[in-house]
Amino acid sequence: MSSNKSSLTALTLGAIGVVYGDIGTSVLYAIKEIFGSGHVPFTHENVYGVLSIVFWTLTVIVSLKYVVLVLRADNAGEGGLIAMLALASQAVKDKPELRKWLLVIGIFGTSLFYGDGVITPAISVLSAVEGLEVVSPAFKQYVVPITLVVLFGLFFVQKRGTGGIGKFFGPITVLWFVSIAVLGVSHIVGHPEILAALSPHHALRFIWQQPGTTFIILGAVVLCVTGGEALYADLGHFGKKPIRVAWFAIVMPCLTLNYFGQGALLLADPEAVKNPFFNMAPDWALLPLVGLATMATVIASQALISGAFSVTKQAVQLGYLPRLNLHHTSVHDTGQIYLPVVNWGLFAAIVLAVVMFKSSTNLAAAYGIAVTLDMLITTVLTFFVIRYGWKYPLWLCLLATGFFFVVDLAFFSSNLLKLFAGGWFPLLIGGVVFALMMTWKQGRALMAAKQQAESLDLDSFLEAVFMAPPLRVEGTAVFLTADTGTVPNALLHNLKHNKVLHVQNLFVTVRSHEVPWIALDKRLEVEPLGHDCWQVVIHYGFKDDPDVPKALRLMSARGCELEPMTTSYFLSRDLVVPTLGSGMAPWREKIFAQMHHNAGAAAEFLNLPSNAVIELGSKIEI
């Protein structure tokens, strides 16, 4: 029992540091943007109404939707939009047309994650450094340069992994939550009547009296739930109970106290609306608070960057992106990975965002559309999971998800007002990623169809080869091929140029599935072909780490021993030439050909040894 309590405490502490860093730093800018927009007349009743709307937004979207409902939709213990997509697509697998559209919607939602991944670190770190302007207006000219330096340092250390500094995330974030709670209480004690805004009637009165203003400010209110998706995305790292305990015991109470403290400050000093969070602090605490806020926003950004790495790896596993150069940064935790192209691509986009928008207020105009659309997609997928996967009655499914759908739709519609003020930026990023994903998926399908039509049957080919067998050389040849039962080009080239065949030959196909994990006892599917040749299919889930040599060591139980020093790996790679009239637009064909040309990281991704040989095959027109 003591061990279980200790484990729960450690996991809860970790969840506070990783899961709630983003939503915990929303206090830096949410209230400022709501009142700073100029749409809300500054009256006591409006302060009460806005605080009530913020509190009940946290309650409905985070507490009820994500913590209570969505966390239940775990895919073998894993969460996130891709896990939800896998659950939904499996639930409607007997409805192919519906399943196709759900996959498109889910992948679009996944693409939007990258748009959110650009805006969130930019607005978080920038809003923290802007605290220097409260210390002295002379610091204003240094805000953007300092922000860029902090962000560069964050992205530069990614290649070293987060294992060394990750253990400090939880304690620092706990210190952050305690600090913002203390700041809030220090102002609430002067105006304890502000706690009356906990009553929903203040929110309802504000909505009833000012429906137009309410609709407009929802685009700023949504800032208080930034990072809500992380609750579900990090389910596999911490589990449901620690995430729920962390939210209800620490995170939500501290956020509520700080928001209400900001409200109490505004009642006493309306001029503090320029930056209510930092104006809550006494002068002596400003610089330490800026430093703590910067650390908290860096931690929040780190969690999102790590999430981008994980989402990219899962998309690669499911065949929506090419194999990318992937590095494991920890020998103990396989989840700690580093993808250089994703890391520096995100950094370039974030730098562009900071330089273009220059302030957290301007970035707030860009934030919201992508995240609210993601929330809306999550709600839609949840309906199909609980209706067709869990077999709940239709009325209950409509009731459970219909309410959240209306709420999400209201927030998304409000954020559409910010489309031309900056909301286009994350949508553009998400749209580009979506186009790349769908182009790669369709291009691979077209290539596979063409290869299948032109390929030789493996059984017939081996039968013909062994009628007059070539020289057999010592060792094992592992031929990686996309399709089972077909002759890989690498084998044809080996016979043509070297005129030899290895003593043992494995024809290996790697397949990924819409489940997080594949058990070891189901990892290999082996079919003997005779003459010491085997057809091998290696199965992985989208959370598994592909490791072909490790998986093939299981072949020893089938009587096939692989010696590392005498095993050669052959990858067939085809030269892709775009052509017209193949099912994709010409610009997409060219993009696919370029992606295929640059996708030279299969050996690293599959953890193949340095003796892997890439054989260039014949040209394939798509």
Which of 395, 418, 442 is the endpoint of a domain? 442
Same domain, 520 and 549: yes
Arithmetic mean of pLDDT over the chain? 86
| 195 occurs within a structural domain | yes
Cβ atoms of 153 and 347 within 8 Å: the answer is no
Nearest to 293 by CA among 116, 54, 142, 132: 132
CATH no. for residue 155? 1.20.1740.10
Task: Give the ranges where 222-336 is alpha helix by DSSP (H).
Answer: 228-233, 235-238, 240-246, 252-268, 276-279, 286-317
Same domain, 109 and 217: yes
Predicted local confidence at residue 314, as pLDDT? 84
Edge to edge, what strands does the sheet with 613-621 contain?
524-530, 533-541, 500-513, 471-480, 567-577, 613-621
| 341 occurs within a structural domain | no
| 574 occurs within a structural domain | yes
Cβ atoms of 234 and 77 within 8 Å: the answer is no
Same domain, 429 and 461: no
DSSP result, 403-437: HHHHHHHHHHHHHGGGGGGTTHHHHHHHHHHHHHH
For residue 593, give the amino acid letter: A
Coil, strand or helix: which one is 184? helix
Which of 395, 415, 442 is the endpoint of a domain? 442
Query: Which of 102-116, 373-387, 511-525, 584-598 is predicted least confidently?
Result: 584-598
**pTM, entire model:** 0.85
Same domain, 389 and 515: no
pLDDT digits (tens, 9 = 90+) for 563-612: 877 888 887 766 676 765 567 788 888 888 888 776 666 667 777 776 67
Alpha-carbon torsion (113, 115, 118, 120), positive or negative: negative
Domain that holds residue 76: 8-323+361-442
Same domain, 165 and 281: yes
Angle at which helix 143-156 crosses helix 286-317, to 10 degrees, equals: 40
Mean pLDDT score, 403-410? 94
587 burial via Cβ count (<10 Å: 0-12, 13-18, 19+): exposed
> Between vectors from CA 402 to CA 396 and to CA 403, what angle results, nearest 5°?
105
Which H/E stretch holds residue 568?
A: strand 567-577
Same domain, 417 and 538: no
Nearest to 614 by CA among 489, 474, 507, 501: 489
> Between vectors from CA 488 to CA 485 and to CA 490, what angle results, nearest 5°?
160
pLDDT digits (tens, 9 = 90+) for 146-200: 999 999 998 988 887 655 556 678 899 999 999 999 999 999 999 999 999 999 9
Q: Count of domains in the chain?
A: 2
Mean pLDDT score, 383-412? 92
Same domain, 208 and 183: yes
| 286 occurs within a structural domain | yes
Coil, strand or helix: which one is 473? strand
Residues 6 or more apart whose CB falls under 8 angstroms from that of 267 comprise 44, 47, 191, 194
Cβ atoms of 311 and 80 within 8 Å: the answer is yes
Q: How far apart are CA 89 and CA 98, in angstroms?
A: 9
pLDDT digits (tens, 9 = 90+) for 272-314: 888 899 999 998 999 999 999 999 988 888 878 888 888 888 8
Token output for 391: 């077999």
Residue 484 has pLDDT above 80, yes or no: yes
| 506 occurs within a structural domain | yes
The label of the residue with tokens 């929802």 reads 218
Q: Which residues of 529-563 are buried (b: 16+ CB within 10 A; e: fewer)?
A: beebbbbbebbbbbbbbbbbbebbebbeeeebebe
Mean pLDDT score, 33-62? 89
Nearest to 112 by CA among 243, 307, 299, 300: 307
Which of 390, 408, 442 is the endpoint of a domain? 442
Based on C-alpha coordinates, what's the Rg of the chain?
Answer: 27
Same domain, 433 and 466: no
